Amino acid sequence: MTALSRVIVERDLAIALGAETDPIRAARLVLRTASAIEGVDGGFVFLHGMGQPFGLVASEGLSNRLETTLSALPNDITSARAAFGCEPTRRRFGKSKPIDKVAEAEGFRAVFAFPFVRAGMNAGMLGLLSRTRTGLPQGTRRSLEAISRIGGTGIRMAADRARVDAELEEKNIFLRESYHRIKNGLQLLCNLLLMEAGNAGDAETANLIIQTERRIASVGLAYDLVANEAPRGRISAADYLRALAAATMDSLEREHGSPEMEILIDPGIQLVAETAIPLGLLVNELITNTLKHAVSPAEKGRIALSLSQDEASMLLRYRDSGKDKGWEVAEQGTSFGGTLIDFIGRKLAASIERSSVNGGVGYSIRIPHESIEGRFSRRNRYRQAGLFQSGDGSAEPA
């Protein structure tokens, strides 16, 4: 093998292992790479301290008898060194050890053992079997040493990723269950508020209670989607805002009419619950204010809602075609809905622009990604699986 081809093999192996999340598949990839070198006819990977089922992985084609003999080795490095000798050198079979007798009976002439070193300690080895050779040329030996070095690191990192993925999935299950319970609690609260509204002594009080119930329902919808549909704690912004808009319109249709609605949302936008909740409250207030102040059953208006994003921010655009009399109240800060919109905007460090368009009202709300990340991502980092591997294989936050 030439120096160039050796570099290409090492590069391809490192790239493939860098994307692997299963230590068994990673070990088999290392074995296939090593077995492609002339004179290597199979082998095995032994990892110290991994435990079953990752302690031993044998290449395809080994006999059941040989694989069983290998599997019977105690899972500790002392036994492995005693059985094979963990130096990157050749070793002919002797007659004293069971593994030697079985391997020789299967037609192998030698085993070549290459140690996996981690943090200065022996962490396992790559064992390669040959039917034709009892020694290795210098170039072949260097290639196998490099494969062993890259393979040992890659297999360990794959095992670390598998462990982190398992921990993340366990936490995701717990979070989904928590979200489900929160949703149920919010639904119970909504039902109690609706009962209270029915017993209110006057229409104004009942209306205030119903408005509160709608706001709580918008929060519950976000938790419902996360609990039932979201992978890794994220929900589709398009699905969430469409469902929220439909629910808000349905609840106010009888009293205030049902304007036409156009919704354009970037299908690639995914939201964690903590981002979806304030965004949903904003949309709920915008639609509610339009239905209460800008349209009527006799004057069927139109609403346009869009959400897009770029590298720096998300942009929520809202337009209606109705009267803007009610929005004058919101501008003066005397409307609770308008006050709530401003409050949420400040919490998200959003810039809010209001405008009057053809007798209607327009809102442009730009939310910087950094404000969302700064407030929410630290608590959700494991849920979002945003992990890198450090040089020693430990997990570091992105």
pLDDT one-digit tens code per residue, 228-240? 765 566 788 898 8
Rounded-to-integer distance, Cα 318 and Cα 313, Å: 16
Together in a domain, 148 and 60: yes
Q: Is residue 199 part of a domain?
A: no
Tokens matching residue 342? 């401003």
- Does residue 302 carry a pLDDT above 80? yes
Domain edge (last residue) among 138, 158, 178: 158
Q: Is residue 55 part of a domain?
A: yes
What confidence tier does 333 reach under pLDDT thresholds 50, 70, 90? very low
Domain encompassing residue 123? 3-158
Q: How far is CA 280 from CA 11, 55, 135, 205, in A?
A: 48, 50, 70, 24
Domain edge (last residue) among 98, 125, 158: 158
The angle that helices 203-228 and 237-256 make with each other, rounded to 10 degrees, is 160
Q: Is residue 110 part of a domain?
A: yes
Q: Is residue 337 part of a domain?
A: yes
Q: Is residue 216 part of a domain?
A: no
Q: Which of 17-26, 95-104, 327-336 has the highest mean pLDDT?
A: 17-26
Tokens matching residue 105? 């009976």
Tokens matching residue 344? 């949420």
> Looking at residues 306-330, what average pLDDT do you find?
76
User: What residues does 124 pair with on adjacent strands?
Assistant: 47, 116
Asked if 248 and 287 touch (Cβ cutoff 8 Å), the reply is yes
Rounded-to-integer distance, Cα 150 and Cα 31, Å: 12
Q: What is the pLDDT of residues 161-210, one digit of tens each?
A: 888 888 888 887 887 788 788 888 988 998 999 888 888 878 888 888 88
> Looking at residues 355-371, what average pLDDT do you find?
81
Number of domains in the chain: 2
- Does residue 396 carry a pLDDT above 60? no
pLDDT value at residue 49: 54
